[in-house]
Chains A and B, each alone.
Chain A
Amino acid sequence: MAFHALIVDDSSAVRAFVRASLEDADFARVQEAETGFEALRLLAANAFDVVIVDVNMPDINGLELLAFMKKSPRQQGARKILISTQVDGLDAKRGTELGADAFLQKPFEVDELRELIRGLLGSTEGVSL
């Protein structure tokens, strides 16, 4: 199951963790963005299968990226995962309204992330490889 993923998080440790978790197991091609701006550039130029965004980032936050992806023709097939410290808080509620497919609560485990993505991609017909 090869897929193209984007991880947007201002923490390099989290990015490295996600990259290692996915590349190790699933032949995923993982791209990283440190800021919302970098994410906007990548989202404008690539179609992703999975986009994982942290909700709290300086400048452009994760919710704003979700809102952007909702309207972006390139990202209509993307599964969106929002990383947040609380899954039952206001951020998660807004994330759902903005089209997040799943949540990851920090701290999360490797298997949790892998299972989540397998579940999400399994449930779509149109995974572009």
Chain B
Amino acid sequence: MSDPRDNVQQEFLAEAQELVEALSRDLLLLDEAHHRKDRIDPALINEIFRSVHTLKGIAGMFGYKHVGAVAHALEDLLDDLRLGRTSVGSQLLDVLFDSVERFQRLLALEDPESPEEEAGVQAYLAAIRSIGTETSEEEGDPLDKYAIEPAVLSVLTEYEEHRLRACIRAGLRLYRLRAAFDLTAIDDSIETLRDVASNDAEIITYLPSMEGGNDDTIELVVLIASPVPEEQLNAHFEGRYGTIEAIEERTHLPTLPPRLTSIPSAAIRMEPQAEEDPGQASLRSVANSVRVDIRKLDHLMNVVGELALIRSAVNRIVDRFKGESMHRRSLMDLDRIGRGFERQLSELRSGILDVRMVPLGQVFDKLARIVRQAAREHDKQVRLVVTGASTEIDKLIVEELTDPLMHLVRNAIDHGIESAEARTQVAKSPEGTVALNAYQKGSNVVIEVEDDGAGMNAHQLREAAVSRGLLSADVSHELTRQEMLNLVFMPGLSTSSEITGLSGRGVGMDVVKTNILRMGGMISIASEQGTGTKITVTLPITLAIIRALIVTVASRTFALPITAVREAIPYVPEDVRTIQGREVITLRGETLAICDLARLFGFRGSTSKAGRFVVVGSMGNRELGFVVDDLIGQEDVIIKALGKSLASVRGFAGATDLGDQKVALVLDAPTLFTEYFDGPDALRSLETRA
């Protein structure tokens, strides 16, 4: 018999990942509240507890022994925290934050029971246990203080009973609300109830009762704890759910038989908050979302791409009949239907793209953790300011983006932000700021990592490049300041710790750049000494399907992503000038560098001199004109990976099938830009000239 666990393993990993992410988010909130010395919301601690509790349960079922062990120990610790046996402090926060990384590592293990992890896990469990708890056993059971009906007590879970005791110990009063809810709208109603309650009351539980309910409504007894007196609480709820009544405090000793209180049976029917079709809402799912494997979406996107190809093929047939008057009417009909088809297709495509989108906030949460950690390691004061966390980007890009961004943020703190003393000396606030800004710009997403630290010394970077033999001294003197800063992305330059100290930037910026380029993105740097550094990453919103301008160069067909194209203009050979070894033209008063693709790729002979075009590309804040032979038109193309033999060729993002058995290479605009302006080739051409 097959083990069903194999099929649901993915489901487990997805849920575990979500739980760890939720844990991480909640821990940041907890950390923030602790730093501000705010009152810590018990609901937040309960959320954290619940994530860990659920994780513990499912880890055991899916054979993740280490995850289960860590979650179990944390659960005990959080239970102590929840019940007031320990309090939030920096040691506790450190241990909790540690768990996030640890869970992520353990979940990524090939062998979830790997014995190699044993020692690390044990050490961590010891760290958890080292957090002291104070057991302040109080006299008697606080529950005895209230006359809670046995029927109510009998359905409380152990956990809820704990909470109830903790509330009573904390001096809160207990209340009861009895109301009937419309079953079809109960989720919204409860959501509202919770919102109203959140300020001055904690809801312990909701008990469904059969009395007063029928198939469409259900009566709930809601158990509430609140520091607020009865009248005030009722005023706050405005009678929306009926009257909230205090549960009587016992006047007798608990050893006497309990005084059963009768609950008034007049239940108040609650109107649903929003009008909904009662017929179809009855089986509506509470969680209005599904989790989908990204590969399924890729497949759908491919189907959309194939449909677009079929549509183009039909168009070509239609074109063939154009001008034949006998088919005029049918052709007009076909044309109209074709346009309708295209509209629907584009709707479908944007629908699928939309599903793939996730907010960047997912990555930013992780980065917030890095900021906290790095700041502590270096004993620096750092404030993180995030804008645009709701900016959406393709799920696949988000996955790939985490590492490069983590690197940039870490560098900003390790090498950018100065110590509090150093900052005070230069009249800066002792607390440094790292800003993460995200926003959409056309079909790109821009992410900026900005710090107000020491900035970079461009001249020292240049000297380092020369002393490392990456650049000749002669050439180095021709570099502009920006070109010197760009040296930081050169392989071999920023890998030395000595240089790191000098440059104010960390290791591996070349790796960061390679990763960003691989995603079809761009990276640029701006830095002022003493003021700070800003790294700007520009990425396409999605990788799946792109609209491209189809061009020909020396009888070969190429596709240029439309996101990189601004316009196309006729090429006039007489207008071309040469500045510093580069060909340029003047466009609306501005100098525009141009690059002849035929020459770049080394195609000879067949290039037609007349009627060529300049396709003006733009990436980030740079523009470059690509000289091509002809413009074919715009098409939606699916980028397919190049075969092994071509994969190492730079300048191509992939290949695409144009439908009429023709294959076009997709130009990799970011790489072409980078290589042209500041890549190794650009430097080599300077070298030759020198």
Name A residues whose Cβ lies closer than 8 Å to a Cβ of B: 10-14, 16-17, 20-21, 24-25, 33-38, 40-42, 44-45, 55-56, 58-68, 71-72, 85, 89-91, 94, 97-98, 106-108, 110
| A108: contacting residue among B53, B61, B184, B210, CB under 8 A | B61
Distance from A40 Cβ to chain B, minimum over Cβ atoms (Å): 6
Q: Given A37-B187, A59-B190, A90-B161, is A11 in contact with B205 using a C-beta cutoff of 8 Å? A: no
The answer to whether B61 touches A44 (Cβ under 8 A) is no
Q: How far is the CB of B625 from chain A (nearest CB, A)?
A: 52
Q: Which residue of A lies closest to B183 (CB)?
A: A41
Give chain B nearest CB distance to A24 CB in angstroms: 5
Pairwise interchain contact B1-A67, C-beta atoms closer than 8 A: no
Closest chain B CB from A102 CB (angstroms): 17
Q: Give Cα distance in the complex from A80 to B635, angstroms.
A: 59
Most buried by A among B11, B12, B156, B157: B157
Q: Is the CB of B62 within 8 A of A64?
A: no
Q: With A89-B158, A108-B61 given, is the CB distance from A61 to B8 under 8 Å?
A: no
Please name 14 further chain A to chain B contacts, defined as beta carbons within 8 Å, in addition to the given A13-B15, A17-B61, sorted by A numbering. Answer: A11-B54, A13-B16, A17-B12, A37-B286, A41-B184, A59-B205, A60-B206, A60-B207, A61-B155, A65-B208, A90-B161, A107-B60, A110-B3, A110-B5
| List of A residues within 8 angstroms of B286 by Cβ | 33-35, 37-38
A14–B58 CB distance below 8 A: yes
B interface residues (Cβ-Cβ under 8 A, vs A): 1-5, 7-8, 11-12, 14-16, 50, 53-54, 56-62, 68, 151, 154-161, 183-184, 186-187, 190, 205-210, 215, 218, 282-283, 285-287, 291
- Docked complex Cα distance between A116 and B163 (Å): 33
A interface SS class: helix
Does the CB pair B283–A91 fall under 8 Å?
A: no
Q: Let me know if A16 and B157 touch, CB within 8 A.
A: no
Of all chain B residues, the one with the shortest Cβ separation from A17 is B8
Min Cβ gap B562→A in Å is 39
> Number of residue pairs across A and B with beta carbons under 8 Å?
140
Are B11 and A94 interface neighbours, CB within 8 A? no
A61 to B53, CA, bound (A): 15
Q: Is the CB of A12 within 8 A of B186?
A: no
B11 cross-chain contacts in A, Cβ below 8 A: 12-13, 16-17
CB distance from A38 to the nearest CB of B (A): 4
A107 neighbours in B (Cβ, 8 Å): 57-62, 68
Once the chains are docked, how many angstroms separate the CA of A100 from the CA of B505?
63
If A37-B186, A56-B157 touch, whether A17 touches B208 (CB-CB below 8 Å) is no
Q: Could you pull out 28 A-B pairs where Cβ atoms are within 8 angstroms? A: A11-B54, A12-B15, A13-B8, A13-B12, A13-B58, A14-B61, A16-B7, A17-B61, A20-B8, A25-B1, A35-B286, A36-B206, A37-B186, A37-B187, A40-B186, A42-B283, A44-B218, A61-B155, A63-B154, A63-B157, A67-B207, A67-B208, A68-B208, A90-B158, A107-B58, A107-B59, A107-B68, A110-B4
